[in-house]
């Protein structure tokens, strides 16, 4: 997901460069380095979170354990959240369609809580983090195959009011 | 035989229907379908239009049509094409059994529709054993004309009961979730229809995502899950008033609601700290009792019909399996031990079986199956890419469930439809809905 977001950002830069009338600041050097989206997105926004830290962690089938890759993403999310202490977030828990509806609601909640617990352990106040489960009701991608299912077994950190 | 001696009389209050039993001689019960072992040959039955003057003639045809459709849908009866009929019943008079034997009818339904001086309709029907030349059942119903479909379903239930020895299930409704729109932003509405798909109504407008409706024992209320307040919560919908209200006042997600058999409680799951446990909410005083305790996912609870036990699914042992505990909570016994995961247990209204959704086995397919309450006698009724959420017809002989299809990368497919299937695994048929549909729940008999 990080890779894909970076790809999107790169494509946007190319478009800006090709534009006959580049918007002001388009050619300005990117500042901020690692841990910042470099001003491409509004600071503290959902897009900023996604580009800077990655806004989602993926899970194995019927599991809610956070992988080491997920841990790294949540580490970056926690740093980002500390930079924007006014921001509160809701963790959405999602499941693939290969489970029953009610169990998946519970599993989505368990995944969202697993993400929240890591962020709290990394120093983010519990009061800044809500959870909600969508079970298998709001798939992120369509397609009844493993590639699609893998994208849908996810905890997404969403910026409230963003 | 033609005398309408009134042997019994009953009035169903809200429905305003008066029932009179017409004289039935002691009949040898020759005409009988044994429905417990699967049906080899559906019973040929002739259902000519009920006789009536003027507009009652049309009503008689309509009633016969609904009765025909009900009995046909059960898979146990084979209504004979009216084009084959020899006797013209419209002239009245007693059945000419020889003429009905010629068209191979084993059973015959006759009836009369009349308008009473008070404007109400009186619908009389008789069920005949063609070979024994005997009346098997006879009833007269008096009600307002607009109730004609229910009269037809009640007649079909009487015929079913007289021939099979089991209660019917035609005078019932099904509540379900109507689905529309793309998979990623699916619109889901609470909807209700008669068991034969007539009188479909949408109960919610689709603004809030709603799931998993269940009837109260009176069939006047529906408990379900709604995202109306943002967080998924258990709600109650009153069919008479159209009122919707969140049930209970406690934090976090509540889901998977079902009524207790006496209607006094709703059993549900609540999520806290990633765990989901089972609670019972007393509707009389709104007190909440915790019935399971742990870090597992305990959900999809369902009372036994006597109210003494609860079956649910839990992953406490590592994978999702079925457990039975007392209605007051406490220790639970695992009852499912086959390969794969087990979910959505629903206790048969007869108490003898528990239906479930099974995931896994070959190719990760979904199945609908049944087992005895002690876990023995597991039997799969149907399997597919996605079949989920069985619900029992009130006689415990037929189940409804939903079947979903896979989606491709462009979002095509992914529809869901309701189906019914006989307990023997035969007679699978779609329950027609205006669009995609899921999460069916069958009502009790309405009377």
Q: What is the DSSP code string of B276-299?
A: EEEEEEETTT--EEE---SSSBEE
Q: Which residue has the higher pLDDT, B68 or B364?
A: B68
- Chain B interface test: which of A64, A94, A105, A149 (most B C-beta within 10 Å): A105
3-class state of residue B356 by DSSP: strand
Please provide the DSSP assignment of B239-251 as one string.
TTT--EEE-S--S
pLDDT confidence of residue A109: 98
Is pLDDT above 90 for B25? no
pLDDT confidence of residue B87: 85
Q: Which two tokens stand for residue B291?
A: 């019935």
CB spacing of A101 vs B408 below 8 angstroms? no
Which of B184, B209, B212 is facing A102, going by the closest CB pair? Answer: B212
Kindly give, in sequence order, each residue whose CB lies less than 8 Å from that of residue A157, ignoring residues fewer than 6 positions away.
A49, A55, A56, A77, A89, A90, A91, A115, A119
For B284-296, the pLDDT digits (tens) are: 999 999 999 999 9
For B262-286, the pLDDT digits (tens) are: 999 999 999 999 999 999 999 999 9
Residue-averaged pLDDT of chain A: 83
3-class state of residue A79 by DSSP: helix
Distance CA A114, CA A102 (A): 19
Other CB atoms within 10 A of residue B167 CB: 16
Identify whether the C-beta of residue B403 lies closer than 8 Å to the C-beta of residue B433: no
Distance CA B182, CA B223 (A): 26
Identify whether the C-beta of residue B31 lies closer than 8 Å to the C-beta of residue B106: yes
Nearest to B235 by CA among B202, B207, B261, B212: B212
Is pLDDT above 90 for B24? no
pLDDT confidence of residue B17: 64
Is pLDDT above 90 for A36? no
Q: Is B387 on the interface with A (CB under 8 A)?
A: no
Q: Is B420 on the interface with A (CB under 8 A)?
A: no
Percent of chain B scoring above 90 in pLDDT: 84
Q: Is A148 on the interface with B (CB under 8 A)?
A: yes
pLDDT classification of B26: cutoffs 50, 70, 90 = low
Contacts of A110 in chain B (CB under 8 A): 271, 274-276, 297
Which residue on chain A is closest to B210 by alpha carbon? Answer: A137
Please report, for chain A, how many H helices and E strands are present, in that order: 5, 4
Contacts of B320 in chain A (CB under 8 A): 62, 103
Which of B211, B274, B407 is facing A109, going by the closest CB pair? Answer: B274
A–B: how many Cβ contacts below 8 A?
Answer: 104
Distance CA B23, CA B8 (A): 9
Is pLDDT above 80 for A30? no
CB spacing of B253 vs A102 below 8 angstroms? no
Distance CA B71, CA B80 (A): 11
Task: Kindly report the CATH number that applies to the domain delimited by A2-159.
Answer: 3.30.1330.60
Please provide the DSSP assignment of B163-209 as one string.
HHSS----S-EEEEEEEES-GGG-EEEEEEEETTS-S-EE-S-SSS-
For B197-210, the pLDDT digits (tens) are: 999 999 999 999 99
Give, to the nearest 10 degrees, the angle between helix B148-164 and helix B55-73. Answer: 40
For A17-29, the pLDDT digits (tens) are: 333 333 333 333 3
Nearest to B163 by CA among B323, B35, B259: B35
Q: Give residues 315 to 334 of B whose Cβ lies within 8 Å of A.
A: 315, 319-320
Q: Is B253 on the interface with A (CB under 8 A)?
A: yes
Which residue on chain B is closest to A139 by alpha carbon? Answer: B184
CB spacing of A144 vs B385 below 8 angstroms? yes
Identify whether the C-beta of residue B322 lies closer than 8 Å to the C-beta of residue B311: yes
**How far away is chain A from the Cα of B274, in angstroms, using its nearest Cα?**
4
Domain residue ranges of chain A, discontinuous segments joined by +: 2-159
Other CB atoms within 10 A of residue B339 CB: 9
Sheet harboring B436-442: ordered strands across? B201-202, B187-194, B173-180, B436-442
Nearest to B20 by CA among B12, B2, B8: B8
**How far away is chain B from the Cα of A4, in angstroms, using its nearest Cα?**
18
Is pLDDT above 90 for A63? yes
3-class state of residue B379 by DSSP: strand
Please provide the DSSP assignment of B129-156 as one string.
ETTTTEEEEEEEEEE-GGGHHHHHHHHH
Domains of chain B and CATH, by start: 6-164 (3.40.50.10070), 173-442 (2.120.10.30)
- Secondary structure element (H or E) that encloses residue B19, with its range: strand B17-22
Q: Give residues 140 to 169 of B whose Cβ lies within 8 Å of A.
A: none
Using CB atoms within 10 Å of the CB of residue A60, give its burial: 0 to 12 exposed, 13 to 18 middle, 19+ buried.
Answer: exposed
Other CB atoms within 10 A of residue B6 CB: 12
């Amino acid at each position: 997901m990080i890779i894909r977001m970076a790809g999107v950002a790169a494509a946007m830069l190319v478009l800006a460069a090709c534009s006959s009338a580049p918007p002001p600041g388009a050619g300005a050097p990117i500042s901020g380095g690692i841990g910042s989206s470099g001003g491409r997105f509004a600071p503290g926004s959902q897009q900023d979170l996604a580009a800077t830290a990655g806004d989602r962690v993926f899970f194995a089938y019927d599991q809610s354990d956070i992988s080491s890759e997920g841990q790294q993403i949540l580490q970056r999310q926690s740093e980002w959240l500390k930079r924007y202490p006014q921001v509160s977030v809701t963790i959405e828990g999602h499941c693939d369609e290969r489970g029953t509806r009610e169990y998946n609601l519970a599993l989505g909640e368990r995944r969202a809580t697993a993400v929240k617990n890591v962020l709290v352990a990394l120093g983010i106040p519990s009061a800044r983090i809500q959870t909600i489960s969508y079970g298998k009701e709001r798939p992120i991608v369509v397609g009844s195959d493993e590639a699609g299912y893998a994208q849908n077994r996810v905890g997404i950190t969403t910026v409230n009011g963003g | 035989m033609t005398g309408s001696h009134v042997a019994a009389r009953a009035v169903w209050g809200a429905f305003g229907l008066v029932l009179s039993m017409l004289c039935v001689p002691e009949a040898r019960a020759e005409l009988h379908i044994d429905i417990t072992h699967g049906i080899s040959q559906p019973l040929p039955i002739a259902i000519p239009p009920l006789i009536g003057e003027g507009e009652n003639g049309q009503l008689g045809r309509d009633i016969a049509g609904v009765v025909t459709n009900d009995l046909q849908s059960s898979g146990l009866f084979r209504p004979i094409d009216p084009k084959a009929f020899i006797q013209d019943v419209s002239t009245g008079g007693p059945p000419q059994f020889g003429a009905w034997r010629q068209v191979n009818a084993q059973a015959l339904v006759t009836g009369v529709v009349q308008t009473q001086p008070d404007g109400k309709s009186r619908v009389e029907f008789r069920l005949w054993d063609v070979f024994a030349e005997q009346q098997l059942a006879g009833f007269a119903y008096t009600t307002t004309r607009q109730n004609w479909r229910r009269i037809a379903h009640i007649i079909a239930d009487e015929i079913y009961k007289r021939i099979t020895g089991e209660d019917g299930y035609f005078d019932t409704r099904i509540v379900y979730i109507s689905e529309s729109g793309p998979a990623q932003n699916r619109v889901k509405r609470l909807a209700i229809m008669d068991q034969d798909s007539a009188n479909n109504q949408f109960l919610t407008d689709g603004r809030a995502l709603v799931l998993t409706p269940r009837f109260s024992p009176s069939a006047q209320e529906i408990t379900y899950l709604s995202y109306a307040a943002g967080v998924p919560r258990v709600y109650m919908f009153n069919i008479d008033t159209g009122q919707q209200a969140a049930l209970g006042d406690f934090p976090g997600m509540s889901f998977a609601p079902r009524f207790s058999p006496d209607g006094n409680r709703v059993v549900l799951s609540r999520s806290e700290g990633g765990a989901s446990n089972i609670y019972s909410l007393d509707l009389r005083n709104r007190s909440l009792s915790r019935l399971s305790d742990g870090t597992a996912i305990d959900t999809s609870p369902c009372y036994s019909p006597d109210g003494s036990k609860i079956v649910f699914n839990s992953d406490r042992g590592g994978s999702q399996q079925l457990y039975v505990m007392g209605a007051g909570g406490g220790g639970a016994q695992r009852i499912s031990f086959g390969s794969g995961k087990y979910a959505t247990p629903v206790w048969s209204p007869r108490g003898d079986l528990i239906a479930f959704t099974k995931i896994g086995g070959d190719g990760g397919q979904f199945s609908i199956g049944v087992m005895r309450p002690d876990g023995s006698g597991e039997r799969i009724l149907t399997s597919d890419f996605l079949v989920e959420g069985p619900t029992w017809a009130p006689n415990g002989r037929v189940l409804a469930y939903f079947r979903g299809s896979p989606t491709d990368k462009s979002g095509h497919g992914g529809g869901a439809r309701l189906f019914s299937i006989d307990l023997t695994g035969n007679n699978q048929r779609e329950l027609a809905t205006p669009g995609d549909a899921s999460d069916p729940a069958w009502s009790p008999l309405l009377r």
